[in-house]
């Protein structure tokens, strides 16, 4: 898992941004998040919650999505997006 949720925040667990929070990386290196979004295996590399956090962070920091991708949720109960707290 590339992003791990720690106390309502997502933190990178590996790579050059290991230990940094998602929003910190979005501010410091937005190109990395754009590259990450476009290179991830849609159903394997991130949990649904981490995927949503990545998308939300990119929108919040106005990082363009180079590709449009549809996320297939791991849940079999249909597309349910967790409520932001």
**Residue extents of the structural domains in the chain:** 3-60
Q: DSSP assignment of 32-57, as one string? A: HHHHHHHHS-TTTSS-HHHHHHHHHH
Sign of CA dihedral 12, 18, 20, 22: negative
Residue 84 confidence (pLDDT) above 90: no
Task: Give 10-57 pLDDT, tens digit per residue.
Answer: 999 988 999 999 999 999 999 999 988 888 765 567 888 898 999 999
Per DSSP, the three-state class of 82 is coil
Per DSSP, the three-state class of 73 is coil
Cβ 11 vs Cβ 21: under 8 Å: yes
Task: Give 52-78 pLDDT, tens digit per residue.
Answer: 999 999 999 999 886 655 555 555 444
The C-alpha torsion from 40 through 45 and 47 to 50, rounded to 10°, is: -50
pTM of the model: 0.73
């Amino acid at each position: 898992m590339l992003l791990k949720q720690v106390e309502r925040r997502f933190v990178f667990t590996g790579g050059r941004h290991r230990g940094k929070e998602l929003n910190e990386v979005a501010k410091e290196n937005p190109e990395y998040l754009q590259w990450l979004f476009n290179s991830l295996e849609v159903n394997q590399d991130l949990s649904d919650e981490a995927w949503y956090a990545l998308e939300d962070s990119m929108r919040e920091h106005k990082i363009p999505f180079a590709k449009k991708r549809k996320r297939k949720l791991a849940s079999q109960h249909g597309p349910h997006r967790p409520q932001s707290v």
